[in-house]
């Protein structure tokens, strides 16, 4: 069986790690918390050990709230803004991210972001351009849209943790939401997503959103059909969609992940051992994560 490319939604995993491992349970020699570092490395180790990829890329949020998305929908992720306009992130998480990146660099595991884009867009682009099979590890449902059976792209959904992955192909997305993966972005735009500040259409829930997408095929087709008195909308539903028409014309551009952003040339190969072993030893000792580093070394070592 061909081994996959593993695309890791890094922010999704290190946020989950930060809140999943108590700060008091993982501290550096100087007392600073490294719970996100240890948790992230352990999740990555488990993914590598269980999924056996031969290529890995950790996708980064260079811009967690791109201006071009905000220009289309002002509420996009607005609820996550801190007073200074940056993303609201726990004080003790922010300094742990560079440590994670240093350790990945010492291992030789590729990590990449793109100015003006989110990690989702990096993943969407790599899933579209790199040869499959591809597995996307994330806790973000928006990435269900990149599932593509023809290209061998699946999502490893970490909603219940890396130890309880949901492996989603197109049939699984259809069973879960009533729409194919290729239509998930339109479905999500209709339904809305409070976690991303997307209002959706007032009064339209998951079942109605799925029924509309299944019947008309896309948001563009739904909006076009609003002008057709023979389109078959119930009067109340038509009124709701008409009231939200301005939102519906721009929402797909916000929800859909980019698949063609400029990315640097990458060596996606997962090395069988750390490429900078001495640097890794130094980092592991300095930050008190020798056990987690050893588990990652063991995970990447050939069986």
**Residue 46, SS3 per DSSP:** helix
What pLDDT shows up at residue 228? 82
Report long-range pairs for 24-32 (Cβ below 8 Å, ≥24 apart).
26/288, 26/289, 27/288, 28/286, 28/287, 28/288, 29/286, 29/288, 32/92, 32/95
**How many Å apart are CA 223 and CA 98, to the nearest integer?**
45
pLDDT confidence of residue 68: 96
pLDDT score of 107? 98
Q: Across the strands, what pairs with 55?
A: 5, 269
Q: What is the pLDDT of residue 85?
A: 82
pTM summary value: 0.95
Tell which residue, 123, 114, 118, 107, has the closest CA to residue 5. 123
Phi, psi of 25 (to 5 degrees): -85, -10
For residues 38 and 289, the answer to whether their CB atoms sit within 8 Å is yes
Residue reference for tokens 């797909």: 252
Q: Of 51, 59, 29, 30, nearest to 266 (Cα)?
A: 59
Residue found by looking up tokens 């997408």 in the block: 213
Report the 10 Å Cβ neighbour count for 200. 20
Where residue 192 falls (left for φ over 0; alpha for ψ -120 to 50; beta otherwise) is left
Rounded Cα gap, residues 255 and 204, in angstroms: 17
In this predicted structure, what is the pLDDT of residue 242? 94
- CATH says 5-179+258-300 is which class? alpha beta
Predicted local distance difference test score (pLDDT) of residue 1: 65
The structural domains of the chain, with segments of one domain joined by +, span 5-179+258-300, 181-255
Look at residue 112 and give its three-state secondary structure: strand
Q: What integer pLDDT is reported at residue 232 of this predicted model?
A: 77
Which is the CATH superfamily of the domain at 181-255? 5' to 3' exonuclease, C-terminal subdomain (1.10.150.20)
**Which tokens hold the place of 252?**
């797909």
Successive 10-residue mean pLDDT values, the chain, 303 residues = 93 95 94 97 97 98 95 94 87 97 98 97 97 96 97 96 94 97 96 92 94 93 86 88 93 95 95 97 98 97 75
CB-count exposure of residue 187 (10 Å: 0-12, 13-18, 19+): buried
């Amino acid at each position: 069986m061909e081994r996959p490319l593993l695309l890791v939604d890094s922010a999704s995993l290190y946020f989950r790690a930060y809140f999943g491992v108590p700060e008091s349970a993982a501290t550096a020699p100087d007392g600073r918390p490294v719970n996100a570092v240890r948790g992230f490395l352990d999740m990555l180790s488990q993914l590598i050990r269980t999924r056996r990829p031969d290529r890995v890329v950790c996708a980064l949020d260079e811009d967690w709230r791109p201006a071009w998305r905000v220009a289309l929908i002002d509420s996009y992720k607005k609820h996550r803004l801190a007073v200074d306009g940056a993303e609201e992130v726990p004080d003790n998480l922010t300094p742990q991210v560079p440590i994670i990146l240093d350790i990945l660099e010492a291992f030789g595991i590729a990590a990449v972001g793109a100015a003006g884009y989110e990690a989702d867009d990096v993943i969407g682009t790599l899933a579209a351009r790199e040869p499959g099979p591809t597995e996307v590890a994330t806790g973000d449902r928006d990435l269900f849209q990149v599932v593509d059976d023809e290209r061998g792209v699946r999502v490893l959904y970490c909603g219940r943790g890396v130890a309880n992955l949901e492996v989603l192909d197109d049939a699984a997305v259809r069973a879960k939401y009533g729409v194919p993966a290729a239509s998930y972005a339109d479905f999500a735009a209709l339904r809305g997503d409070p976690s991303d500040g997307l209002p959706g259409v007032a009064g339209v829930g998951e079942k109605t959103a799925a029924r509309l997408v299944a019947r008309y095929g896309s948001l563009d087709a739904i909006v076009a059909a609003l002008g057709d008195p023979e389109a078959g909308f119930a009067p109340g539903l038509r009124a709701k969609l008409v009231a939200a028409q301005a939102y519906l014309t721009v929402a797909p551009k916000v929800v859909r992940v980019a698949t063609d952003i400029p990315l640097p040339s990458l060596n996606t190969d997962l090395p069988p051992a750390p490429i900078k072993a001495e640097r890794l030893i130094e980092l592991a000792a300095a930050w008190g994560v020798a056990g987690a580093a050893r588990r990652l070394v063991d995970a990447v070592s050939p069986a």
